[in-house]
Structure 1
């Protein structure tokens, strides 16, 4: 697992509820896994809203790694296209930086099922508040 030590303090009730397993976090990439069980819509399929949560969470964690523990981040845009259903197993999300600027970072997020099939394509933009330098 490649996760900065200070990330042990970062957690949310939603991450816990969704069963997030965080595998990697750097400023340019974040990877996490989520069980399908417990994250489905009434018809037994992986919930599209869960895909959006995964995408925003992973992009935000990568952005947090960019600004460090003294900075802060805020999601400002999300776009997600649901590509195929998932009924069981795990969904793995990988957020990859498309561009990290001075105050905005944009990440491409790919969600796949256990067979490696892409289930969602998302793009997230995050506002970066960097700590003062001096």
Structure 2
């Protein structure tokens, strides 16, 4: 008899993609077309179009748009790991842009490096439609009481 493998325990509190996407209404994420697409036991994924909304003047994906996607993913991931009476705020973010993209969609995936009671560190990989690395980012979050 084969015993089925146990489902991995989720790092995140329960939520839905619909709830996460609803939180983007009337924020910087909405006009850029950022959409949450997948929640795993230890990762959160979102996509962003590469078009006139996210281009820089040379017709390439703007680095600032990549950083906005990275911060969105890191901050939302962090929020899913804390209590209802706390919030996560970014205190540092860095990004290395390693490949230009002219069109299509990029996908960002946030994974934890450290999830503590007062700080969190997340790594966000942004890839093109062929799975090639476009940007690698790391964000540090502070966990603070909700005001």
Give the TM-score normalised by the residue count of structure 1.
Answer: 0.87
Structure 2 equivalent of residue 3 of structure 1: 16
Once the two structures are TM-superposed, the CA of residue 130 in structure 1 deviates from its matched residue by 5.6
- More moved, 93-102 vs 8-17: 8-17
Structure 2 equivalent of residue 92 of structure 1: 107
Point out where structure 1 has 5 or more consecutive residues left out of the alignment. Answer: none
Counterpart secondary structure, 2:28: helix
Once the two structures are TM-superposed, the CA of residue 69 in structure 1 deviates from its matched residue by 3.8
Match of 2:67 among 41, 45, 52: 52
Structure 2 equivalent of residue 34 of structure 1: 48
Structure 2 equivalent of residue 105 of structure 1: 120
Highest Rg: 1 or 2? 2
Point out where structure 2 has 5 or more consecutive residues left out of the alignment. Answer: 1-14
Aligned length: 130
CA contact (8 A) 1:26 1:62 kept: no
Give the TM-score normalised by the residue count of structure 2.
Answer: 0.80
CA 88–64 in structure 1, closer or farther in 2 if over 3 Å, else same: same
Q: Distance in 2 between matches of 1:80 and 1:68?
A: 28
Structure 2 equivalent of residue 13 of structure 1: 27
